[in-house]
Amino acid sequence: MSGKVWLVGAGPGDAGLFTLRGKEVLEDADVVVYDALVGQGILSMIPDKAELIFAGKRSGNHYMKQSDTNVVLLEEAKKGKKVVRLKGGDPFLFGRGGEELELLVENNIPFEVVPGITSAFAVPAYNGIPVTHRDFCSSVHIITGHKRADHSYDIDFKALVNTKGTLVFLMGIAALPDICKGLLDAGMDPEIPAAVLEKGTTAAQHRIAATLGTLEEVCSRTEVMTPAIIVVGQVCSLADDFGWYEKRPLAGVKVAVTRPKELVSQLSSMLRKEGAEVLEMPAIAVKPVEDMSPLHQAIKGLENKKYSWIVFTSPSGVRIFFEEMFKLSDVRALAGVKIASIGKGSEKALNGYGLKADFIPSVYDGETLGKELAEQCKAGDNILIPRAAIGNPELPAELSKVEGVTVTDIATYDTVYESSKVIDEHAAMEDGDVDFAVFTSASTVKGFAASLDGLDFSKVKAVCIGKQTRAAAESYGMKTWMAEKATLPALVECVKQAAAELK
């Protein structure tokens, strides 16, 4: 039985502009064939189970010929796989999506097309340029600036000038002189506003403003970063008044988030709302321990009213505990048991099961949790702590100081280090592409360091959730900032403060 191919437009770069349908299809993929222009935030959404095939093209450099890409899609689908062809922008707007479908149609391979937001509209919008405005134009025209090797332009510049509309040239930076000359020779006013928009919708976006007559000369003074688009039209004059992207607190800042994949979304969303570009780089993964018999025995003890307290030290610990408990029992096993949470994150995870924490320490770390919870305990109490195998030893040590208290410390999950299969994390950090790395635990620091072995860690600007995390980062020589409280909102505020300091 044959598989199926989805042509999916990934948009211009910002992960927030990826469509819901595109994300849904991507998460179910067996094979992902992706381009160089797909944003890193979207690449990080590719599921671990998917096979990755790079078919990148940029500025005339082809990793894989188009004809070979077409064959790859066909052959992978013939194997019965769900194949996602992930393309920057929209697959049918100068994305050669039509060519890729031809071979599939010839071989009766089923397919779907998931449109993407095109850079022709999104990038100007992120630069404060509406591509249409009733006071300036009544049409917008999208033109490829790319020309085939040994071919002259097949563009009717005179017709474009006569439209009096906004002109958007994609893939045209190498041909900028030809484009400007073509429009000027066709009679366009040299004083009409124009712009080159670099790396739009990302932290590195930049606008080069000029007139049509001066654009080539202005761009010659600097190295234009690609991808970039060219916009010509009166609407370019609105950019200063309508600009909004740069006004957000973290505009122009790229942040690497190192939390485990299942926990990364909330922090990423909070940072994006402040204007940051977020690169999700999970440095650790949480895996349940193979032998769950000690936890299962403890769950039976809960049913028999053996425990006075159960203590949770992470959202992952909450999730894994309840996954195992529901195999044997239900929440009635917790009747009469008090619950302690190390902080707001674990408490939120408890709320998802309809539970509230009876106790949260004043400072969200293991030592404080142990000291302050010890004050709530009395002789005869039995305390259950289901948590990571490498949990902080200070927590049970402080609780054990209370005479007559029994502590049952059970490893329910292991923390393992991991790195991205698709993003060159080492290059991103070494080249200064990432401004800050955000760490929510000492283990994320260690996982980050392990995956980037050999990196000059003095180049890493680390924003840390607490003192133990900060100490771990500083042990590698990172420059550090620490949140006032061990909460995600405080962590985001710390990123904003650090970014303001370095402006």
Q: Assign residue 488 the CATH number of its domain.
A: 3.40.50.10090
Q: Average the pLDDT over each of 43-57, 119-133, 183-197, 308-322 and give the range with the smallest value.
A: 43-57
Location of structure tokens 């635990």? 441
- Known active-site residue 35: yes
End-of-domain residue from the set 94, 116, 138:
116
| 379 and 466 part of one domain | no
Together in a domain, 460 and 472: yes
Q: What's 459's DSSP letter? A: G
Tell me which of 14, 28, 48, 57 is the catalytic residue. 57
Cα 377 from Cα 326, distance rounded (Å): 28
The CATH number covering residue 138 comes to 3.30.950.10
User: Residue 425: its pLDDT value, please?
Assistant: 87
Q: What is the DSSP letter of 95?
A: S
**459 included as an active-site residue:** no
Rounded to the nearest 10 degrees, how much is the dihedral formed by the CA atoms of 13, 44, 204, 208? -20
Both structure tokens of 303:
């049913």
150: confidence class by pLDDT, cuts 50, 70, 90: low
| Residue 1: per-residue pLDDT | 65
For residues 382 and 392, membership in a common domain is answered with yes
How many whole angstroms separate alpha carbon 307 and alpha carbon 50? 43
Q: Same structural domain for residues 20 and 40?
A: yes
Looking at residue 57, its pLDDT comes to: 62
279-300 pLDDT, tens digit each: 999 888 889 999 999 999 999 9
Q: How far apart are CA 227 and CA 215, in angstroms?
A: 17
pLDDT of residue 420: 83
Do residues 177 and 242 both lie within one domain?
Answer: yes
**pLDDT range class, residue 52, cuts 50, 70, 90:** very high
Q: Average pLDDT in the 156-184 region? A: 94
- pLDDT, one tens digit per residue, over 432-476 is 899 999 999 898 999 999 989 899 999 999 999 999 899 999 999
For the stretch 387-415, pLDDT in tens is: 998 888 889 999 999 999 999 999 999 98
Q: How many domains are there within the chain? A: 4
What residue numbers bound the domain in which 204 lies? 121-247
**Average pLDDT of the segment spanning 238-243:** 96
pLDDT for 151: 62
Q: In the predicted model, is pLDDT for residue 58 greater than 60?
A: no
Domain's final residue, options 116, 150, 179: 116
pLDDT of residue 188: 97
Same domain, 301 and 413: yes
Judge if 42 and 69 occupy the same domain. Answer: yes
Whether 387 and 443 map to the same domain: the answer is: no
Q: Which two tokens stand for residue 457?
A: 């860690």
Confidence (pTM) = 0.85
